[in-house]
Amino acid sequence: MGNTFGHLFRVMTWGESHGPAIGAVIDGCPPLLELSEADIQPDLDRRAPGQSNLVTQRKESDTVQIVSGVFEGRTLGTPISLSIANEDQRSGDYREVATKYRPSHADYTYDAKYGHRDYRGGGRTSARETAGRVAAGAIARKLLVGRYAVEIVAWVSKVERVSVDCDVETVTRDAVERTPIRCPDPAIAASMIAIVQKARKAGNSVGGVVTCAIRGCPPGWGEPVFDRLEADLAKAMMSLPASKGFEIGSGFAGTDLTGLEHNDEFYMSDGRVRTHTNRSGGVQGGITNGETIYFRTAFKPTATVMHEQRTVTRDGQDTTIEGRGRHDPCVLPRAVPLIEAMAALVLADHALRHEAISPRR
Amino acid sequence: MGNTFGHLFRVMTWGESHGPAIGAVIDGCPPLLELSEADIQPDLDRRAPGQSNLVTQRKESDTVQIVSGVFEGRTLGTPISLSIANEDQRSGDYREVATKYRPSHADYTYDAKYGHRDYRGGGRTSARETAGRVAAGAIARKLLVGRYAVEIVAWVSKVERVSVDCDVETVTRDAVERTPIRCPDPAIAASMIAIVQKARKAGNSVGGVVTCAIRGCPPGWGEPVFDRLEADLAKAMMSLPASKGFEIGSGFAGTDLTGLEHNDEFYMSDGRVRTHTNRSGGVQGGITNGETIYFRTAFKPTATVMHEQRTVTRDGQDTTIEGRGRHDPCVLPRAVPLIEAMAALVLADHALRHEAISPRR
Amino acid sequence: MGNTFGHLFRVMTWGESHGPAIGAVIDGCPPLLELSEADIQPDLDRRAPGQSNLVTQRKESDTVQIVSGVFEGRTLGTPISLSIANEDQRSGDYREVATKYRPSHADYTYDAKYGHRDYRGGGRTSARETAGRVAAGAIARKLLVGRYAVEIVAWVSKVERVSVDCDVETVTRDAVERTPIRCPDPAIAASMIAIVQKARKAGNSVGGVVTCAIRGCPPGWGEPVFDRLEADLAKAMMSLPASKGFEIGSGFAGTDLTGLEHNDEFYMSDGRVRTHTNRSGGVQGGITNGETIYFRTAFKPTATVMHEQRTVTRDGQDTTIEGRGRHDPCVLPRAVPLIEAMAALVLADHALRHEAISPRR
Amino acid sequence: MGNTFGHLFRVMTWGESHGPAIGAVIDGCPPLLELSEADIQPDLDRRAPGQSNLVTQRKESDTVQIVSGVFEGRTLGTPISLSIANEDQRSGDYREVATKYRPSHADYTYDAKYGHRDYRGGGRTSARETAGRVAAGAIARKLLVGRYAVEIVAWVSKVERVSVDCDVETVTRDAVERTPIRCPDPAIAASMIAIVQKARKAGNSVGGVVTCAIRGCPPGWGEPVFDRLEADLAKAMMSLPASKGFEIGSGFAGTDLTGLEHNDEFYMSDGRVRTHTNRSGGVQGGITNGETIYFRTAFKPTATVMHEQRTVTRDGQDTTIEGRGRHDPCVLPRAVPLIEAMAALVLADHALRHEAISPRR
């Protein structure tokens, strides 16, 4: 359990890092959506390793195949099965990771839960698992863009102690993609890149924050009480590897304000209800109000470092372990398409849920 | 939809603020748990309005009745229906809130979603809805304490700009309950209380942060990928009214550290795997590692303020509105039992999910 | 678990026979549906005991209260909580049923599963549980009638060895309600009544079959593969107490035919696709084709009989037990509104599921 | 939606008849189960076409690959992805089925629902879809056999008008597999085979009934009210292509009996509660009582016949159509492993659900 996400637009992902393939199946995508691999591959390429020397050098072409659910270029309404072959399954020596728990990885907890784990390249706990999410998210996004004109853009807004506040209303994906760190401010991006390079050379790693903006959502999406839109977004983001925090709208900083300062006053604009400010982050009571949704997700520094650290063996002996081989000094640039994919999955699901009970009918 | 939470220990809540009652039904509580209203009422009393002049003065005894699922003092394994009568349904004049949208409340978004809302006291969007969650959470906690010796303690760690860092390993509920603001540090509590009093007098409101510690969880709870324990905790907390942020372990502050600084090194202690530090917050890869789970939830300042604010009418006219009557200048003290309740619901659900596939069998 | 039904139009029922009340909560009913207790009560009255001497004489007015989810006469889109007080909780002597398992009742299996049971009047296993289903089903039916003009009529088509084949296209509820046995053919009804009276006098019981017709469903409802409409109907009917069989369209008798005899050939009629015959029973590949859906449900004879039977005690001794007190010689007439209610719950759920992905958008 | 089955042992199937592959993903299989393709392939071979001239001559080796979830011969607790390549995708001429609806197939209803369908070989509605279920069911059965010693055996008990009553306590799989029709009584099997051969030669088809026995279930599996074991079994069987009826225990025939005749009296045997008869079919109140579970599923005659039949075109013209090419005169023999697979999926799910709340803890 736990590998399934969504109530109506439902995704199940599968696959270990060093098995023959990884993938995802979507049950609930509406029919008649134009779809081909070309709609999915660009997002996978943005997630793929080896794009720059800021990230891991594992070589994976991450070529997606649509194995079912599409016929004559359009979705059938049946499950869409997506498969991505694992190519770079280095035969490497896994004896050490088979018997020692890497600090701040999930080796120990998987053993504690299951009594068995695939230690090759992290198995199911590898970030490779997220390729399936990105592929599924690309389909969700296609639905959102085509049917509802919703736009989702994420970017790196903090690396270690360097951060930037961009305007959530105007950042474009083009601006984001212009730098390998995926920060739309070129000067700040340069500082961030320098930090990552320094960490890479030192065999160390850094974390940071990704901000995401969702523009064009109609009012009324989201469900009250438990399945609030922000609750499902929080779950989606906190399900990503290495994420440690989520905030929407004013977030933690909003706790410095008084109610009078924080409230978003309403006004009419061209017959549409708008708010003067948007500290709510586009949701009130769990439901969209038509303003831009924006949220931030914190990622801890990557757990793999090229230094000796204390740990224990599977059979309970104190020992040490040192990271070797490929090394991802900063997950942030690759987290950007992940955040967008998870946001798209949440929104597509809520769009369909809203259709089901829409009072228009 | 959206009023149901949990996969195996499942809760459905119902009720509007000014209907005859509110309540919850639990489907999935194991049998043979000793249970009576006396196990639930204390948590409801902690959530109830009117406890001090820090919170709203609405008078509700919030007396819970167990209507089903318990026989001869023990749970039957059948649904436990909980009902709490609404007593203080002031006949008040609701003409204004019926036609004007209160800023940063959910009046507008409910109308946008449903085309219809119960405007009396906020209807379903009233914080009163959370009484059902607290009642259900008390049962989940009883299960966790009795069967697994898990302990859950939450406290107010920030009010507006005053904050405190307490030791998540040692804070006791007694210490928390000693001050009406529910902060275990008496000196900081006094400052916080002064801030709330000032806001109350000014007809204004303040927000803040609640920290929660969960001690004694065995390793192995939580599911990989989407239903990570921290993901479900984030969803639970972000489903609470007025919450805007969630972080676990090192959270947002952890992004300032390098991997070498952040990693939790392992060691053996009395045959048990432990970590020297606990920046992971008790979860790695979504699964508990046996260390204390701790997380923080940000609450925005209450939306109701006793000042005129700009808004719009239901039929699209610009206008103003001013808060009247009862007023909750700070939700934080009452959020403490809520956080504990939601944490208990998440953990009870994951405890049962783990039992189902436990490799011990 | 197990007390929740439906994916979008979701019902959770609760309550034991001799607790203070029983009820149901619906999470997922669309907003703006006109609704009051008067829409529900008639179906409850049809299910209620004591309507005639054909059924049990337990006295329950079964008065339903809508406790939440409706405001100013229309549904809010929030959970609809329904409560029905238990009135006739005879103080009777339950010592015997507390310690002996009644044959073909669920006393033993509940003990085996839960280690604990409410033996008063059958507890959760009492047919009384179905009042919550009937109440919820009445709301589903209101939605189906008002929004989609779907009509659901069930009737008793077999009692012991007396059966009747009525035209599924034309039976009316008026005709069904004309006899206390709820068979639309007056002559056959008289025979059936005689059988039940004879069984009642003999302290014995009889079973039979209920047929149900659903007319006016648009083509396209139902989901492929696992959630076929007939699969969900089968689950719904086989979840009713005492049901032992389900068949749709040609059912078991259809196995006597060849493919050439069985196939439903298509033709056009006023621009609509129709079938010359309807052995499919209105569904093909799990999806409605616009023809009348009809199915039959078999109910075993009631397990309570006024005769001594062999059984065992809770602590494993052979013994005997004899039914006493109130006695329901035939559940069939009261099963009619139950079948209709469950059919309505299934259809309302599938109607909403279809709306969510409808290609019209 | 609709392609997912199970609450804890959850299966999602995917694939169209003429796409590159079909498959299934299992989310929720416990870890540490020994598993390889060799555990699955025999059941697939029993389902495969072309085994005898009683069934369709489509050539598919149906070779399964385990793509994830197994490491070093044991399950990981992570999703198990199963893939089966489609080999015999005849290039054939699909122009006719693309534009005309085959009677009693799902061509029309899929078009009505989705506005789009893969007409090649039936697409998603092809019986080929069931290969994924059989593969998943083989894993469920391995769990049931290894952990609980549960045995599942199904056989053909009726073909057209020839039927046989075998002892549900003693039929063995060996006896079933001895005849190509999968009926354990050799003489009756010969009659059945003659019927099928005659239908095949006439370009016609026949239906029938499969009986299934589940032996060795412990008491206590199944959930009350909606998720009764028999309700979930009914849903599972009625989700199979061509199934039109389900009955458990005494079924429809039980309605001929009185309560006194029908009741299963209890007695003690070696400290275990047993019943003298088993008209309940192993379940009481939705929960297993430890006796053999047995049920019957009716399958209509195959819809494809080699004769001209009336139908309509996609654009609403009356026309005729005639079956061509490969032809399956009787699905019964191939339905046997399907029934066993679905039964295994239902039981594995309920086994895990019971573990989660078991009072032993």
Q: What is the pLDDT of residues C6-28, one digit of tens each?
A: 999 999 999 999 999 999 999 99
Coil, helix or strand for D155? strand
CB-CB neighbours of A316 under 10 Å: 10
Average pLDDT estimate for C166-195: 97
As given in the structure block, the two tokens for residue D245 are 């009826």
Helix (H) or strand (E) holding A230: helix A229-238
pLDDT value at D252 more than 50 = yes
Smallest Cβ distance to A79: which of D12, D32, D77? D12
Confidence of residue D360 (pLDDT cuts 50, 70, 90): low
How large is the greatest C-alpha to C-alpha distance in chain B, in angstroms? 69
pLDDT value at D190 more than 60 = yes
Average pLDDT of every residue of chain B: 94
Report pLDDT for C91: 60
Average pLDDT estimate for C185-198: 97
Report pLDDT for A214: 98
Report pLDDT for C38: 98
Report pLDDT for A361: 44
Closest CA to B130 of B240, B252, B11, B26: B240
d(CA C202, CA C160): 15
Please indicate if any CB of chain D lies within 8 Å of the CB of B30: yes
Q: Which is higher by pLDDT, A52 or C303?
A: C303
| Highest mean pLDDT (candidates A87-91, C235-239, D61-65) | C235-239
As given in the structure block, the two tokens for residue D344 are 């295994």
ipTM of the complex: 0.97
CB contact at 8 A, C256 and D161: yes
Residues of C in contact with A33 (CB under 8 A): none
Confidence of residue A61 (pLDDT cuts 50, 70, 90): confident
pLDDT value at B361 more than 60 = no
Strand locations in chain A, DSSP E? Answer: 4-5, 10-14, 21-27, 64-66, 70-71, 74-75, 80-85, 151-159, 162-163, 208-215, 243-248, 266-269, 272-275, 283-284, 287-288, 293-299, 308-312, 318-322
> Sign of dihedral through CA atoms B310, B311, B313, B318?
positive
To the nearest whole percent, how much of chain A has pLDDT over 90? 88
CB contact at 8 A, A328 and A205: yes
CB contact at 8 A, B321 and B308: yes
Please indicate if any CB of chain D lies within 8 Å of the CB of C113: yes
CB contact at 8 A, B129 and A225: yes
pLDDT value at C94 more than 90 = no
Phi-psi region of C326 (alpha: psi -120 to 50; beta: other; left: phi over 0): beta
Coil, helix or strand for A110? helix
As given in the structure block, the two tokens for residue D170 are 């003693």
Domains of chain C: 4-357 (3.60.150.10)
Chains touching A, CB cut-off 8 Å, 3+ pairs? B, C, D
Residue among D75, D357, D360, D361 with most chain B CBs within 10 A, to mutate: D357
pLDDT value at D347 more than 80 = yes
Phi-psi region of D283 (alpha: psi -120 to 50; beta: other; left: phi over 0): beta
d(CA C87, CA C105): 23
Helix (H) or strand (E) holding D45: helix D41-47
pLDDT in tens, A95-116: 888 999 999 999 999 999 999 9
Smallest Cβ distance to B231: which of A206, A238, A284? A238
Alpha-carbon Rg for chain D, nearest whole angstrom, is 21
As given in the structure block, the two tokens for residue B166 are 């307490």
d(CA C168, CA D145): 45
As given in the structure block, the two tokens for residue C282 are 């209105």
pLDDT value at A155 more than 50 = yes
Chains touching B, CB cut-off 8 Å, 3+ pairs? A, C, D
Smallest Cβ distance to D31: which of A8, A65, A115? A115
Please indicate if any CB of chain C lies within 8 Å of the CB of D283: yes
Report pLDDT for B89: 65
Size of interface A-D (CB pairs under 8 A): 142
Considering only alpha carbons, which residue of chain B is nearest residue A1?
B223
pLDDT in tens, B295-344: 999 999 999 999 999 999 999 999 999 987 777 899 999 999 999 999 99
CB-CB neighbours of D308 under 10 Å: 10
Closest CA to A285 of B303, B341, C10: B303
Residues of B in contact with A112 (CB under 8 A): 219-220, 273, 287-290
CB-CB neighbours of B50 under 10 Å: 15
To the nearest whole percent, how much of chain D has pLDDT over 70? 97
d(CA B130, CA B43): 12
Coil, helix or strand for B157? strand
| Highest mean pLDDT (candidates C94-98, D48-52, D91-95, D206-210) | D206-210
**Hey, are the CB atoms on D224 and C3 less than 8 Å from each other?**
yes
Report pLDDT for D327: 78
Query: Could you give the C-alpha distances from D332 to C232, C250, D273, in angstroms and in order?
Result: 23, 17, 36
Confidence of residue D361 (pLDDT cuts 50, 70, 90): very low
d(CA B94, CA B91): 8
d(CA B301, CA B286): 31
pLDDT value at A88 more than 90 = no
To the nearest whole percent, how much of chain D has pLDDT over 90? 88
Across B274-303, b (16+ Cβ under 10 Å) vs e yields bbeebbbbbbbbbbbbbbbbbbbbbbbbbb
To the nearest whole percent, how much of chain A has pLDDT over 70? 97
CB contact at 8 A, B296 and B210: yes
Across C263-292, b (16+ Cβ under 10 Å) vs e yields bbbbeeeeeebbbeebbbbbbbbbbbbbbb
Residues of D in contact with A83 (CB under 8 A): 67, 83
pLDDT in tens, C238-292: 999 999 999 999 999 999 999 999 999 999 999 999 999 999 999 999 999 999 9
d(CA A293, CA A283): 7
CB contact at 8 A, D273 and D207: no
Please indicate if any CB of chain A lies within 8 Å of the CB of C81: no
Report pLDDT for D90: 64
pLDDT value at C361 more than 50 = no
**Hey, are the CB atoms on B352 and D352 less than 8 Å from each other?**
no
pLDDT in tens, B207-225: 999 999 999 999 999 999 9
Residue among B12, B223, B246 with most chain A CBs within 10 A, to mutate: B246
CB contact at 8 A, A49 and A337: no
Average pLDDT of every residue of chain A: 94
Report pLDDT for C359: 60
Q: Please, which residues have CB within 8 angstroms of residue C335's CB and are 6 or more apart in sequence?
A: C156, C210, C240, C242, C297, C299
Residues of B in contact with A248 (CB under 8 A): 238, 244-245
To the nearest whole percent, how much of chain C has pLDDT over 70? 97
Distance from CA of C74 to the nearest CA of B (A): 8
Smallest Cβ distance to C4: which of B27, B71, B117? B27
Least confident of A50-54, A155-159, B281-285, C265-269: A50-54
Q: Please, which residues have CB within 8 angstroms of residue C237's CB and are 6 or more apart in sequence?
A: C243, C246, C295, C297, C339, C342, D234
pLDDT in tens, B147-178: 999 999 999 999 999 999 999 999 999 999 99
d(CA A187, CA A252): 26
Q: What is the separation of C-alpha C140 from the centre of its chain, rounded to a whole number of angstroms?
A: 13
d(CA D139, CA D133): 10
**Hey, are the CB atoms on D14 and A69 less than 8 Å from each other?**
yes
Closest CA to A255 of D172, B207, C327, B315: B207
pLDDT in tens, D306-326: 999 999 999 999 999 998 777
Average pLDDT of every residue of chain D: 94
Q: Please, which residues have CB within 8 angstroms of residue D91's CB and are 6 or more apart in sequence?
A: none
Closest CA to B98 of B109, B85, B107, B87: B107
d(CA D343, CA D214): 8
Considering only alpha carbons, which residue of chain D is nearest residue A9?
D1
Report pLDDT for A270: 95
DSSP, residue by residue, C32-54 = T-B--HHHHHHHHHHH-TTSSTT
